[in-house]
Amino acid sequence: MTVPKEVAGGSGGRIAGKVAIVTGAGNGIGQATAIRFAAEGAMVVGADIDRDRIDKTVATITGAGHKGLAFVGDITEEDVAERLVAAANEAFGKVDILVNNVGVTLPGRIWELKAETWDFVLRTNLRSMFLCTRAVVPQMMERRSGRIINLSSGARRGTPWQAFYSGHTPYATTKAGVEGFTRNVSMELAEFNITVNAVAPGPIKTESSAHAHVRWADPNFRHSPLNLVPLGRAGTVEEIANAILFLASDESSYMTGAMLDVSGGR
């Protein structure tokens, strides 16, 4: 993945001088967001549990002449989430933007799901969001400024191309939970001029969903998103990063508690 040409090498940008933490930045939407933020002038701390992946993301950022820091750890652990924020403060002096992107899904229909699978998905997708948000907001409250962007999904309403074939109810549940989390935390933090919004992608082409793209194109796959999404295609990680960037910028200053669907019309 490369830095967008229109802003590569520039000293300005829509979030110039801001410090951003992006979780799950080793691949997919998180990686695209971290790279786009850096190109738009932010100093980026990318967090991931996989060292090789996050090192590649940060190498792309620094190789383009921007500032980035890799953080490796499991942010579902309290001390790790706190160390992530501390590392950003130590490297860049503050945190202006938090993107809670890290997330997983695992297949399984409700009658065959193991409790361990349910717990793992909820812990990864919701506990990490809670811990990172809790760790970062005190300094934002003190400065009376901040942007928090959470990743939900169209799956919060159920996803036919998953549900009819392989379940994924824990994932859908967490993404509905993100909406409630976003709404309530936005009200808690409004008096401090901290905005809290969410982006809800539709079907997106990522490395982890590459195997699904072939199936989606199969004319016998009745519930393919290519049939159910009005625009007739999957989105790209760059299109989601664009929406996240908007919510991180001053252009969204009068938005909080919002769910921004980027889903091809579904």
Q: Is the pTM of this model over 0.75?
A: yes
Domain ranges (residues) in the chain: 19-261
CA dist 240 and 262 (Å) reads 7
Q: Residue 167 has what pLDDT?
A: 83
Q: Which residues of the chain have pLDDT under 50?
A: 5-10
* 3-class SS letters over 61-110: HHHCCCCEEEEECCCCCHHHHHHHHHHHHHHHCCCCEEEECCCCCCCECC
Q: How many CB atoms lie within 10 A of CB 92?
A: 20
Segment 155-164, tens digit of pLDDT: 888 887 677 7
Tell me, yes or no, if 171 is annotated catalytic: yes
The active-site residue, picked from 71, 161, 171, 181, is 171
Q: Of 2.30.110.10, 3.40.50.300, 3.40.50.720, 3.30.43.10, which CATH number belongs to 19-261?
A: 3.40.50.720
Directed axis angle between helix 115-122 and helix 169-189, to 10°? 30
Q: Residue 210 has what pLDDT?
A: 65
**Spatial CA neighbour of 24 closest among 45, 48, 54:** 48
Q: Residue 3 has what pLDDT?
A: 56
Rounded (5°) CA angle 186-143-8: 85
Segment 123-144, tens digit of pLDDT: 999 999 999 999 999 999 999 9
- Contacts for 238-244 with beta carbons within 8 Å, 24 or more apart? 238/4, 238/32, 238/36, 239/204, 240/29, 240/32, 240/33, 240/199, 240/201, 240/204, 241/29, 241/32, 241/33, 241/35, 241/36, 242/36, 243/199, 244/29, 244/33, 244/36, 244/99, 244/149, 244/199
